Amino acid sequence: MRNFNFLLLLISLIVLFGACKSEQIQLKIINLNEAQGIRKYATVYTLPKTVVRVNVKVEKTTFKKGPYYQYANTYLGLSDIIEEDGQNFSISDVEFVTYPVADTNNIYLIETDELNSISLKLNKDGLLETINPDGLYTIDNSSGIENLIDWEKNTSIKNKVIEIDNITFDDVLLPKNLVLKKSTSEQASFLANQILTLRDDRAAILVGDGYTETMPAGDALKTMISSIDIALDKYMSMFVGKTKRDYFYYSFDYIPNETRKKTQSILFRFSENYGIVENTDVNGMPMIIEIESSENS
């Protein structure tokens, strides 16, 4: 990083001297930390340092068991069902973006004998962008890191709480005769028979087993099949259960300041039970970022 700053400074000086060699302007470049105040004809610019932004997408899956889950195998022969309410988290996507920010340790003054002898173009953060020999000293306020980042960000690391009890089966329109059944076992048996009947009806419609002449065709037939599929899915959820997925977005910034060949740092902590947690929470697994410096390779 330090060598990069010196290289950029050297390139800037070469361009400056090249643009102004015919006038033999005397330049003096001073680091602000070493300067004795800002003099009358001093131009100020800043060298950049690189920020690594890590965008993380977290998927939260919530499980809700069905009211008749304990009868799924007995009446329908199902074994792959949700048997317990719960939730878990997983990291579904990671994106790395780099952008420059002003390095406060590398702010420089350019002193000349004449006002406006040097024309520089800076962005709004004071970073040196280009030499502008045809115009005066200008500051470009249109630049900024917000134009480089295209990611939905959540500034808080606390995940939105999704109550499992809020996942209901109210959207399932149950047959009227089901409510007349007194026990849960009888209700499950009745609904299972409804599912098997719908499956048989669907198969008969598709195969044309005695229904071909009376059944509609084209879009009307597709609508009928779709209605049966929707009813089947909702009835099945009473045995299989429901799954809900939500997504959360986070951004973490890391500035590699060390000059060693490799540097490591805990970027955040992640838990399968709670998602991204505070760095002080030892229940979360540390997610480590490692930066390798090419100048030391």
| Distance separating alpha carbons of residues 116 and 113, to the nearest angstrom | 10
pLDDT in tens, 226-240: 999 999 999 999 999
Query: pLDDT category, 220, cuts 50, 70, 90?
Result: confident
| Distance separating alpha carbons of residues 58 and 56, to the nearest angstrom | 6
Task: Give residue 149's pLDDT.
Answer: 34
Task: Give residue 165's pLDDT.
Answer: 62
Strand residue runs (E) in the chain = 28-31, 42-64, 86-111, 120-123, 128-131, 138-140, 242-254, 262-271, 275-277, 285-292
State yes or no: pLDDT of 208 exceeds 70.
no
Task: Give residue 242's pLDDT.
Answer: 95
- 138-140 vs 86-111, strand pairing mode: unpaired
Across 70-83, average pLDDT: 94
State yes or no: pLDDT of 203 exceeds 50.
yes
Task: Give residue 5's pLDDT.
Answer: 47
Task: Give residue 231's pLDDT.
Answer: 93
| Distance separating alpha carbons of residues 4 and 47, to the nearest angstrom | 9
pLDDT in tens, 82-95: 999 999 999 999 99
Q: Could you write out the DSSP letters of every residue in 64-115?
A: E--TTGGGHHHHH---SS--S-EEEEEEEEEEEEEEEEEEEEEEEEEE-SST
Round the average pLDDT of the chain to a whole number and report it. 75
Which is nearest to 163 in space by CA: 248, 246, 269, 45? 246
Burial class (CB in 10 A: 0-12, 13-18, 19+), 98: exposed
C-beta separation of 268 from 276 below 8 A: yes
Task: Give residue 117's pLDDT.
Answer: 56
C-beta separation of 162 from 244 below 8 A: yes
Q: How far is CA 233 from the centre of its chain?
A: 31
Sign of the alpha-carbon dihedral angle for 194, 200, 204, 210: negative
State yes or no: pLDDT of 124 exceeds 80.
no
Across 121-139, average pLDDT: 57
295 or 57, which is more confident: 57
Task: Give residue 12's pLDDT.
Answer: 47
Across 40-51, average pLDDT: 76
pLDDT in tens, 163-202: 566 788 888 888 888 877 879 999 999 999 999 999 988 8
The secondary structure element, H or E, covering residue 12 is helix 2-20
265 or 114, which is more confident: 265
The secondary structure element, H or E, covering residue 196 is helix 184-207
Which is nearest to 93 in space by CA: 233, 251, 218? 251
Query: pLDDT category, 26, cuts 50, 70, 90?
Result: low
Q: Could you write out the DSSP letters of every residue in 242-255?
A: EEEEEEEEEEEEE-
State yes or no: pLDDT of 259 exceeds 60.
yes
Across 121-144, average pLDDT: 53
| Distance separating alpha carbons of residues 182 and 80, to the nearest angstrom | 27
pLDDT in tens, 137-154: 333 333 333 333 333 343
pTM as predicted: 0.66
3 or 196, which is more confident: 196
